[in-house]
Amino acid sequence: MDKKIRKAIFAGSFDPITNGHLDIISRASKLFDELQIGVLINPNKKGLFSLEERVELINACTKDLDNIKVIKFQGLLVNYCRAHGIDTLVRGVRSEADVNYELQMAHMNKELDSNIETIFLPTNKQYSFVSSSLIKEVLKFEADVKHLVPKEVLIALENKTK
Protein backbone atom coordinates (compact mmCIF):
# COMPACT_ATOMS: atom_id res chain seq x y z
CA MET A 1 0.00 0.00 0.00
CA ASP A 2 1.37 3.39 -0.98
CA LYS A 3 1.98 5.86 1.79
CA LYS A 4 0.09 9.10 1.28
CA ILE A 5 2.30 12.15 0.91
CA ARG A 6 1.24 14.78 3.44
CA LYS A 7 0.98 18.09 1.55
CA ALA A 8 0.07 21.51 2.88
CA ILE A 9 0.07 25.05 1.58
CA PHE A 10 0.94 28.35 3.26
CA ALA A 11 -0.57 31.05 1.06
CA GLY A 12 -0.25 34.81 1.09
CA SER A 13 0.93 37.82 -0.83
CA PHE A 14 4.40 37.82 0.82
CA ASP A 15 5.11 41.38 -0.32
CA PRO A 16 7.76 41.11 1.06
CA ILE A 17 8.40 37.88 2.90
CA THR A 18 9.42 38.58 6.51
CA ASN A 19 11.25 36.69 9.23
CA GLY A 20 7.82 35.99 10.72
CA HIS A 21 6.76 34.24 7.52
CA LEU A 22 10.01 32.29 7.45
CA ASP A 23 9.49 31.17 11.04
CA ILE A 24 6.07 29.75 10.12
CA ILE A 25 7.48 28.16 6.94
CA SER A 26 10.35 26.52 8.80
CA ARG A 27 8.11 25.12 11.51
CA ALA A 28 5.39 23.96 9.09
CA SER A 29 7.96 22.29 6.83
CA LYS A 30 8.72 19.88 9.68
CA LEU A 31 5.09 18.80 9.86
CA PHE A 32 4.54 17.86 6.21
CA ASP A 33 6.27 15.92 3.46
CA GLU A 34 5.71 18.84 1.10
CA LEU A 35 4.92 22.43 1.98
CA GLN A 36 3.89 24.67 -0.87
CA ILE A 37 4.25 28.40 -0.49
CA GLY A 38 1.40 29.86 -2.51
CA VAL A 39 2.13 33.37 -3.72
CA LEU A 40 -1.00 35.14 -4.82
CA ILE A 41 -2.05 38.45 -6.20
CA ASN A 42 -4.18 40.30 -3.68
CA PRO A 43 -6.13 42.99 -5.56
CA ASN A 44 -6.76 44.77 -2.23
CA LYS A 45 -3.06 45.38 -1.62
CA LYS A 46 -0.75 47.63 -3.57
CA GLY A 47 2.28 45.53 -4.42
CA LEU A 48 5.86 46.64 -3.97
CA PHE A 49 7.36 43.55 -5.62
CA SER A 50 6.08 41.83 -8.74
CA LEU A 51 4.75 38.29 -8.45
CA GLU A 52 7.93 36.97 -10.08
CA GLU A 53 10.15 38.96 -7.69
CA ARG A 54 8.27 37.60 -4.68
CA VAL A 55 8.64 34.02 -5.92
CA GLU A 56 12.39 34.58 -6.47
CA LEU A 57 12.82 36.05 -2.99
CA ILE A 58 10.94 33.20 -1.33
CA ASN A 59 12.97 30.62 -3.27
CA ALA A 60 16.18 32.34 -2.18
CA CYS A 61 15.07 32.52 1.46
CA THR A 62 13.93 28.88 1.63
CA LYS A 63 16.70 27.24 -0.41
CA ASP A 64 17.90 25.27 2.65
CA LEU A 65 14.49 23.60 3.13
CA ASP A 66 14.26 20.61 0.82
CA ASN A 67 10.51 20.01 0.99
CA ILE A 68 9.41 23.51 -0.04
CA LYS A 69 7.79 24.25 -3.37
CA VAL A 70 7.00 27.87 -4.25
CA ILE A 71 4.04 28.30 -6.56
CA LYS A 72 1.97 31.22 -7.80
CA PHE A 73 -1.74 31.17 -8.35
CA GLN A 74 -4.93 33.18 -8.67
CA GLY A 75 -8.42 32.31 -7.61
CA LEU A 76 -9.83 30.37 -4.70
CA LEU A 77 -7.28 28.56 -2.60
CA VAL A 78 -9.60 25.58 -2.07
CA ASN A 79 -9.86 25.10 -5.84
CA TYR A 80 -6.07 25.03 -6.12
CA CYS A 81 -5.87 22.58 -3.22
CA ARG A 82 -8.48 20.28 -4.73
CA ALA A 83 -6.67 20.26 -8.09
CA HIS A 84 -3.28 19.50 -6.49
CA GLY A 85 -4.15 16.99 -3.77
CA ILE A 86 -3.58 19.37 -0.85
CA ASP A 87 -5.84 18.99 2.15
CA THR A 88 -4.20 21.24 4.76
CA LEU A 89 -3.88 25.01 4.90
CA VAL A 90 -1.23 26.49 7.19
CA ARG A 91 -1.94 29.90 8.69
CA GLY A 92 0.22 31.96 11.01
CA VAL A 93 -1.50 34.01 13.69
CA ARG A 94 0.02 36.98 15.54
CA SER A 95 -2.87 38.36 17.53
CA GLU A 96 -6.48 37.94 18.55
CA ALA A 97 -7.49 39.94 15.48
CA ASP A 98 -5.62 37.45 13.26
CA VAL A 99 -7.32 34.53 15.01
CA ASN A 100 -10.77 36.02 14.43
CA TYR A 101 -10.08 36.70 10.74
CA GLU A 102 -8.35 33.37 10.11
CA LEU A 103 -11.10 31.44 11.88
CA GLN A 104 -13.70 32.98 9.56
CA MET A 105 -11.55 32.05 6.56
CA ALA A 106 -11.08 28.50 7.88
CA HIS A 107 -14.83 28.09 8.28
CA MET A 108 -15.48 29.42 4.78
CA ASN A 109 -12.81 27.13 3.28
CA LYS A 110 -14.34 24.17 5.13
CA GLU A 111 -17.77 25.15 3.81
CA LEU A 112 -16.38 25.27 0.26
CA ASP A 113 -14.53 21.96 0.63
CA SER A 114 -15.16 19.71 3.61
CA ASN A 115 -11.86 17.87 3.01
CA ILE A 116 -9.79 20.99 3.73
CA GLU A 117 -8.33 21.40 7.22
CA THR A 118 -6.64 24.54 8.51
CA ILE A 119 -3.92 24.53 11.11
CA PHE A 120 -2.91 27.68 12.95
CA LEU A 121 0.66 28.23 14.05
CA PRO A 122 1.19 31.03 16.53
CA THR A 123 3.96 33.35 15.50
CA ASN A 124 7.18 33.54 17.44
CA LYS A 125 6.63 36.35 19.93
CA GLN A 126 9.59 38.31 18.56
CA TYR A 127 7.68 38.66 15.26
CA SER A 128 4.20 39.18 16.71
CA PHE A 129 4.01 42.76 15.41
CA VAL A 130 5.65 42.20 12.01
CA SER A 131 3.66 42.34 8.79
CA SER A 132 4.64 42.99 5.20
CA SER A 133 2.42 46.08 5.19
CA LEU A 134 4.10 47.48 8.29
CA ILE A 135 7.57 46.82 6.85
CA LYS A 136 6.65 48.82 3.73
CA GLU A 137 5.14 51.60 5.84
CA VAL A 138 8.16 52.14 8.09
CA LEU A 139 10.54 51.94 5.14
CA LYS A 140 8.98 55.14 3.83
CA PHE A 141 10.66 56.79 6.82
CA GLU A 142 13.97 55.00 6.27
CA ALA A 143 13.55 52.78 9.33
CA ASP A 144 16.02 49.97 9.98
CA VAL A 145 14.26 46.65 9.34
CA LYS A 146 17.29 44.37 8.98
CA HIS A 147 16.26 42.27 11.99
CA LEU A 148 12.72 41.79 10.60
CA VAL A 149 13.41 40.52 7.07
CA PRO A 150 15.89 38.07 5.53
CA LYS A 151 19.08 39.54 4.07
CA GLU A 152 17.90 38.78 0.50
CA VAL A 153 14.77 40.83 1.13
CA LEU A 154 16.71 43.66 2.76
CA ILE A 155 18.89 43.96 -0.36
CA ALA A 156 15.84 43.86 -2.64
CA LEU A 157 14.08 46.49 -0.48
CA GLU A 158 17.12 48.76 -0.61
CA ASN A 159 17.26 48.44 -4.39
CA LYS A 160 13.52 48.99 -4.73
CA THR A 161 13.37 52.09 -2.54
CA LYS A 162 16.41 53.90 -3.98
Residues annotated as part of the active site: 21, 45, 94, 132
Give the residue from 113, 124, 117 showing the smallest Cα distance to 25.
Answer: 124
Q: Measured between alpha carbons, how far is residue 135 from residues 13, 37, 69, 123 in Å?
A: 14, 20, 25, 16
- Distance from chain centroid for Cα 69: 12
Strand ranges across the sheet with 88-93: 68-73, 34-40, 7-12, 88-93, 117-122
d(CA 136, CA 162): 13
**Residues, the chain, total?**
162
Degrees to nearest 5, angle at CA 127 with 58 and 75: 45
